[in-house]
Amino acid sequence: MAMPAETFIALLIYAFVSSVTPGPNNLMLLASGVNFGFRRTVPHMLGISAGFLTMLLVVGLGLGAVLDAVPGLHLALKILGGAYLLYLAWRIAMAGQPGKAGHSPARPMTFLEAAAFQFVNPKAWVLAVTAMALYTSPASHVGSVMVIAASFTAVNLPSVSVWAGFGVALRGLLADPIRLRFFNIVMGLLLAATLFPMLG
């Protein structure tokens, strides 16, 4: 067996808790649900799941060891990820603002953007490295990596969908442009704030 039953249960709990709790992905999905609705947010949700699945496989099959061996690479990823996260926070904060000439209208994050974001998302790196450190088995390394990746994929999409659903539920309350603007600014600030604990 790639993983004992008790380890598998612990893994599922870890995957659920880490997927459903607030973080950059879930705050962006909440804001997207409010601003664009559930259907237009689906590619964003699928991109998160696909990107994190890819990250788990990459970390589990070797990149985690490279990051441990080359601390400078880890620091570079943190800086790049932090800068991009701040850009996304600004983009969310400005959503719903009056359009300016020459600027494209706000739009939800695409599948590829959401998938790529996982590789500069500090929380995603922490979760992937921690999952591989805790739940892989030396006796069946590749098999346990596959179980971890499959478990997160099964748990992640329903968990993140809840946040987009919360956003949709808030659309009526936030139909007023002033309230919507306030909400987007608060979401942008909260997204920026998620950066600081993860950069320590």
SS3 call for 4? coil
Cα–Cα dist 161/128, whole Å: 20
What's the pTM? Answer: 0.79
Task: Note whether 143 and 19 are within 8 A (CB).
Answer: no
Q: What are phi and psi of 170, to 5 degrees?
A: -85, -5
**Chain centre to alpha carbon of residue 79:** 17
**Which domain, by its residues, includes 38?**
5-13+22-198
Closest to 25 (Cα-Cα) out of 174, 167, 182, 191: 191
136: alpha, beta or left, given left = phi > 0 and alpha = psi -120 to 50? beta
Q: Does an H or E element contain 19, and which?
A: helix 5-20
The tens place of each residue's pLDDT in the chain, 200 residues long, gives 567 888 899 999 989 988 988 888 999 999 999 999 999 999 999 999 999 999 999 998 886 566 667 677 667 766 776 777 788 778 778 876 444 444 444 789 999 999 999 988 878 888 888 888 888 887 787 888 999 999 999 999 999 999 999 999 998 888 788 888 888 888 888 878 866 665 55
d(CA 42, CA 181): 23
Q: Fill in the DSSP letter of residue 63.
A: I
Nearest one of 62, 14, 7, 35 to 185, comparing CA atoms = 35
**pLDDT for 103:** 42
SS3 114: helix
Which two tokens mark 135?
A: 């739940």
Count structural domains, the chain.
Answer: 1
Mapping DSSP onto H, E and C, the string for 37-60 reads: CHHHHHHHHHHHHHHHHHHHHHHH
